[in-house]
């Protein structure tokens, strides 16, 4: 039985980048659409169900940051930012807005494909993890988290978590009672090979606490360990 290829939208106003990225993704067997500005990208995202969006930041009109902000208001499709700017601040801004990874120009084919494959593996946008990854059911602080089904419940209430929040909670639950540094959380929860400015973790933890409270869980179960990181109460 042949699986359906992932559908990817590539957004960039530079024809050379657009052609380079789309050609190599198609060569890998992905279904690829392209857009040359932010407004076109948003219109296409409204009309199609994408598994990943490769998004340049410096776009004419609506820039990549705003495109990502609007995409996040609509759903959880993974976003890989492209940018000629490679500062910590640029990465943090993109990730705070909901981007899933950040690739600085210029980049090679291998790095591009590695990032794309990693995001598609981690994404639940297409309905679950690779079978090879396995999965487990975790239980802590009254929460039951099924990694295969990608469901977290507190009693009869399903927690409304984004993919990033789910992975963060899973990581904390796997190490319940143990203090995890912000660097550990960035590496383990999302598999980032580089560590950006770690303050972005604080924002994600705040959002997770809000979601836990909405689901009837005491948000204080995610404890702050001053000067180090976070711990899920054991």
Is 199 a domain residue? Answer: yes
- Do residues 88 and 15 both lie within one domain? yes
- Do residues 198 and 106 both lie within one domain? no
In the sheet with 151-154, reading across from the earlier edge strand, the strands are 137-140, 143-146, 151-154, 157-158
The domain that holds 69 is classified in CATH as 3.40.50.2300
Question: For position 98, what pLDDT does the model report?
Answer: 73
- Do residues 94 and 142 both lie within one domain? no
Residue with tokens 């976070």: 230
Using alpha carbons, select from 41, 85, 95, 86 the residue that is nearest to residue 63.
Answer: 41
Instruction: Supply the range of the domain harboring residue 166.
Output: 134-232
Total number of domains in the chain: 2
Which distant-in-sequence residues (6+ apart) come within 8 Å of 234 by Cβ?
140, 176, 177, 178
**Cα distance between residue 157 and residue 214, in whole Å:** 10
- Do residues 111 and 157 both lie within one domain? no
**Cα distance between residue 234 and residue 224, in whole Å:** 14
Tell me the pLDDT of the chain (234 aa) as tens digits. 456 889 999 999 999 999 999 999 999 999 999 999 999 999 999 999 999 999 999 999 899 999 998 998 887 788 999 988 766 666 667 767 778 888 888 889 998 998 898 888 766 434 444 444 445 899 999 999 998 888 999 999 999 887 778 889 999 999 999 999 988 888 787 666 555 556 778 888 998 999 999 999 999 999 999 989 999 997
Question: For position 126, what pLDDT does the model report?
Answer: 41
């Amino acid at each position: 039985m042949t699986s359906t290829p992932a559908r990817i939208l590539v957004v960039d106003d530079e024809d050379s980048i657009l052609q380079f990225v789309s050609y190599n993704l198609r060569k890998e067997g992905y279904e690829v659409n392209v857009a040359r500005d932010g407004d076109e990208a948003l219109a296409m995202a409204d009309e199609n169900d994408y598994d990943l969006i490769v998004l340049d930041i410096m776009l004419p009109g609506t820039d990549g940051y705003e495109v990502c902000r609007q995409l996040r208001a609509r759903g959880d499709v993974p976003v890989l930012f492209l940018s000629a700017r490679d500062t910590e601040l640029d990465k943090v801004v993109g990730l705070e807005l909901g981007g899933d990874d950040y690739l600085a120009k210029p980049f090679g084919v291998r790095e591009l494909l590695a990032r794309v494959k990693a995001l598609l593996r981690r994404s639940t946008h297409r309905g679950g993890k690779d079978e090879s990854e396995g999965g487990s059911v975790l239980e802590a602080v009254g929460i039951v988290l099924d990694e295969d089904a990608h469901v977290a419940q507190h009693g009869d209430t399903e927690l409304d978590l984004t993919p990033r929040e789910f992975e963060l909670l899973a990581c904390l639950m796997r190490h319940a009672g143990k203090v995890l540094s912000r660097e550990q959380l960035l590496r383990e929860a999302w598999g980032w090979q580089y560590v950006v400015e770690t303050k972005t973790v604080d924002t994600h933890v705040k959002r997770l606490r809000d979601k836990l409270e909405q689901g009837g869980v005491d948000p204080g179960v995610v404890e702050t360990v001053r000067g180090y990181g976070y711990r899920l109460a054991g």
